[in-house]
Amino acid sequence: MCRRTAPLLEQASKTYNIPVVRHDFPLGPMHPWSFQAAVMARYFDTHSKALGNDFRDYVFQNQLEINLTNLRAYAEKFAAAHKVDFPFVIDPQGKLAALVSADHNLGTAIKLDHTPTVYIVSSRNPNRPFVEVKDNSQLYSTIDAMMKE
């Protein structure tokens, strides 16, 4: 689902000129490599948030082929294509892993139980500051409804 949802969110962001705020919520049992991929995305974030998000999209596009054995090769290929050095140890102090863990803890605290989780957030209606989009086909109509409130 992340692979299908990411490009839809990107297009909606451009269509409506609204930001997309991403949080990393790796699903360990389903994707045992996802935590490390999120740490790698945070590494690319240190170069630019756009590059980190491009890496996330790249991972989503290739997630059916990615596994624990080849994840680093995918990251190295991405880094080379974007002319970014990719060090052997990308998070020696564990700071990037801590950021991923903080996002995961936030998701756990709000009882997140699935991904992708898409919220449309608005300050226009204090009684309804956000709405979850559970069906991708409802993304645009949900944004429209939130913008009208």
Tens of pLDDT, residues 82-121: 999 999 999 999 999 999 999 999 999 999 878 889 999 9
Phi then psi dihedrals of residue 120, to 5 deg: -100, 120
Strand, helix or coil at 94?
A: coil
Range of the domain at 26: 2-112
What would the two tokens of residue 43 be? 């590494």
| Residues 130, 88 share a domain | no
Grade residue 47 by pLDDT with cuts at 50, 70 and 90: very high
| Residues 72, 48 share a domain | yes
| Residues 7, 74 share a domain | yes
For residue 73, pLDDT beyond 80: yes
Grade residue 3 by pLDDT with cuts at 50, 70 and 90: confident
Cβ-based burial of 43 (10 A; exposed 0-12, middle 13-18, buried ≥19): buried
- Predicted confidence at residue 112, as pLDDT, reads 87
Evaluate whether 97 touches 26 at the Cβ level (below 8 Å). Answer: no
| Residues 83, 27 share a domain | yes
| Residues 126, 58 share a domain | no
pTM for the full predicted model: 0.88
CA-nearest of 137, 119, 4 to 60 is 4
Question: Considering its fold, how many domains does the chain have in total?
Answer: 2
| Residues 31, 66 share a domain | yes
